[in-house]
Amino acid sequence: MTDTLTMTRPDDWHLHLRDGDMLRAVAPETARDFGRAIIMPNLVPPVVTGAQAGAYRDRILASLPQDTKFQPLMTLYLTETTNPADVVAAHRDGLVSAVKLYPAGATTNSDSGVRDTANVMPVLEAMADAGVPLCIHGEVTDAPVDIFDREAVFIKTVLDPLRQRIPELRVISEHITTQEGVDYVMSAPENLAATITTHHLIINRNHILVGGIKPHYYCLPVAKREHHRLALRQAATSGDPRFFLGTDSAPHTDQNKLSSCGCAGVFSATNTMSCLAHVFEEENALDKLESFAALNGPAYYGLEPNPDRITLQKQPKPVSFPAQIPTHDGPVTVFDPGFDLYWSVVSNR
């Protein structure tokens, strides 16, 4: 087994940075290790036009050190009033890399999302014609559907019918959490891909509920049974180009996490690469980490891998990370994998 790993600088294909003071506090955590990230548009109000995406990108860049090489890749928030021509133009002009579909009410700041995909078919058809990727939060929001079944039901009742209707649409099924999600991607043509988060490779639903409720492990989609976590591990470490890293790192202050109606989200930007090295080493797949974190995503989005490289080294003693990131409105707790981490990023070049 090696204790040093040098690889292409990774990218994060699903990231929340928020805005304002929160943005300024958390953006450097991602920029330290990652070359690019697909930025989620669920601000208040959401990012729905190319001009808004450009302005948000400028705010992100202004929040970073001047010598940063980090590149935010912007997305548009799909609504039932989105103009197809605006989406195509924003993508053509390089303002956005993808469009995000949130089922209305599925997660944080998703109330402006899509209630019926039939109402956005003209946009999706135009996107398919223009080669614009669609990022999907794949959960139904029907009240009778159990929260642990919402991804599987979404695949059957929404995603598969959508792909049958527009088979040429490029779709990223984001933050998959189930065996069904893995199986569906593996059974589909290569224009369907999926992101997998750091924390879903590590926690299952027991981590949230056993021995007391653990709010900092609560996320949406919620972590599932152990056999689903193992399926995600197998997919991530397989080298299959349809699976790549999207951390879904989502900062919330402790005040908002530790409340009677706590926010969903895990903040993992600070220690993701150390966590991933640990997971891939456990699976005897360190040689596949570069594909998952640095090569598969760019290939799907039609981009070149980052020219820079990073080096991770396994330390003799546990590596320490800050437990919290301070912000103007209070601390944001960093994801705790529940075990010691020995891998650390020792070089970015």
Q: What is the CATH number of the domain that holds 125?
A: 3.20.20.140
More confident residue, 107 or 335: 335
Q: What is the pLDDT of residues 214-273, one digit of tens each?
A: 999 999 999 999 999 999 999 999 999 999 999 999 999 999 999 999 999 999 999 999
- Report the SS3 class of residue 110: coil
pLDDT the model gives residue 129: 98
What gap in Å lies between CA 128 and CA 249, rounded to an integer? 28
Closest CA to 248 of 299, 295, 196: 196
Catalytic residues: 248
What gap in Å lies between CA 100 and CA 76, rounded to an integer? 6
Instruction: Output the six-digit token pair for 293.
Output: 């974190």
Q: What is the pLDDT of residues 87-103, one digit of tens each?
A: 999 999 999 999 999 99
User: What value does the CA radius of gyration of the chain take, rounded to a whole number of Å?
Assistant: 19
CA distance readout (Å), 244 to 11, 24, 105, 299? 9, 26, 26, 10
- Report the SS3 class of residue 5: strand
Instruction: Output the six-digit token pair for 120.
Output: 């956005």
The two beta strands, 243-245 and 309-314, are unpaired
* Total domains present in the chain: 1
Instruction: Report the chain's mean pLDDT, rounded to a whole number.
Output: 96
Q: What is the pLDDT of residues 290-310, one digit of tens each?
A: 999 999 999 999 999 999 999
Q: Which domain holds residue 71?
A: 4-348
pLDDT the model gives residue 43: 95
Percent with pLDDT over 90 in the chain: 95
CB atoms within 10 A of CB 69: 14
Q: Is the dihedral of CA 24, 27, 31, 32 positive or negative?
A: positive
pLDDT the model gives residue 348: 80
Cβ pair 113, 78 in contact under 8 A: yes
DSSP string, 122-177: HHHHHHHHHT--EEEE-----TTS-GGGHHHHHIIIIIHHHHHHSTT--EEEET--
Model's pTM, two decimal places? Answer: 0.97
Answer yes or no: is pLDDT of 1 > 70.
no
pLDDT the model gives residue 104: 86
